[in-house]
Amino acid sequence: MKCGIVVFPGSNCDHDCDHILKKILNQETHWLWHKDEVDLSSFDLILLPGGFSYGDYLRAGAISRFSPVMNSVIRFAENGGKVLGICNGFQILLESGLLPGALMQNHTRKFICKNVYVRVETTGTPFTQKCNDKSVLEIPIAHHQGSYYIDPHSLSDLEEKGQILFRYCDAKGGISESSNPNGSVGSVAGLCNEQKNVMGMMPHPERCADPLWANIDGQSIFQSLISQAENAKRT
């Protein structure tokens, strides 16, 4: 799988993603600088990593959305290319209109950095096909503006179309107010577009995917994308 990792001023999880994809999962990776508008048609995956692009000024992701590389990312996505946004990358995807809704300050008004549990809501996407349906993954979060919001009608629409991929839950998969760390509506932790080729999530799967660590739950997301890319090349 040929992966492009976008680097914005303030990205700080780009090398984490590169380490997992290249060193652990043996995939081809390339850096994509935010100022460069380039042809991405040869890539299998474009990844927007976490961090604090442009210092989160105005709103998280609001300035990065206008970086020249995002014109390339939008064209890539519109042509069916796979795009994954993690944390700040998720924020940028929302600001760019590639995903619906918005991310606001956590309901506690505090930065949250801890492990959380998320439940896999569907395995029928390129991002989750190697996960078990309704399985529970333990994945770290680290954000201040991570509370997902969308109006109730649109939330129902996302549910009906199978676009909600992950929800915050407890260790047994139960969903409640106490298992929701940031106040996201519907306990949404990750979602995709209607075409299911663009996905954003606040938790960091790249931080739990190295076998040297006790937890490798995040690997299933990357393995799903690798499997999808390999299958696409066979057809």
Question: What is the CATH classification number for the domain harbouring 161?
Answer: 3.40.50.880
pLDDT at residue 178, rounded to an integer: 95
pLDDT at residue 52, rounded to an integer: 79
Mean of per-residue pLDDT scores for the chain: 94
Q: Please pick, among 121, 192, 204, 208, the residue that the annotation labels catalytic.
A: 204
The mean per-residue pLDDT over the stretch 9-37 comes to 96
Residue 55 pLDDT more than 90?
no
The mean per-residue pLDDT over the stretch 20-33 comes to 98
Confidence band, pLDDT 50/70/90 cuts, at residue 53: confident
Domain that holds residue 139: 2-234
pTM of the complete model:
0.95
The burial of 115, by beta-carbon neighbours within 10 Å (0-12 exposed, 13-18 middle, 19 or more buried), is given as middle
Residues 58-91: tens digit of each pLDDT: 666 678 878 999 999 999 999 999 999 999 999 9
User: Which is more confident, 52 or 1?
Assistant: 1
3-state helix vs strand vs coil in the chain, percent to 5 = 30, 25, 45
| Residue % of the chain over a pLDDT of 90 | 86
Q: Structural domain tally of the chain?
A: 1
Q: Please pick, among 34, 121, 143, 206, the residue that the annotation labels catalytic.
A: 206
Q: What gap in Å lies between CA 169 and CA 160, rounded to an integer?
A: 20
Residues 115-135: tens digit of each pLDDT: 999 999 999 999 999 999 999
Cα dihedral 45, 160, 120, 226, rounded to 10, equals -20
In the structure encoding, which two tokens stand for residue 14, read together? 């780009």
The mean per-residue pLDDT over the stretch 106-122 comes to 95
pLDDT at residue 58, rounded to an integer: 67
Catalytic residue check, 206: yes
Q: Please pick, among 3, 13, 17, 87, the residue that the annotation labels catalytic.
A: 87
DSSP secondary structure letters along 48-83: E--B-GGGG-SSTTTTGGGSHHHHHHHHHHHTT-EE
Strands (E), the chain: 2-7, 28-33, 45-48, 82-86, 102-104, 112-120, 136-143, 147-149, 164-169, 188-192, 198-201
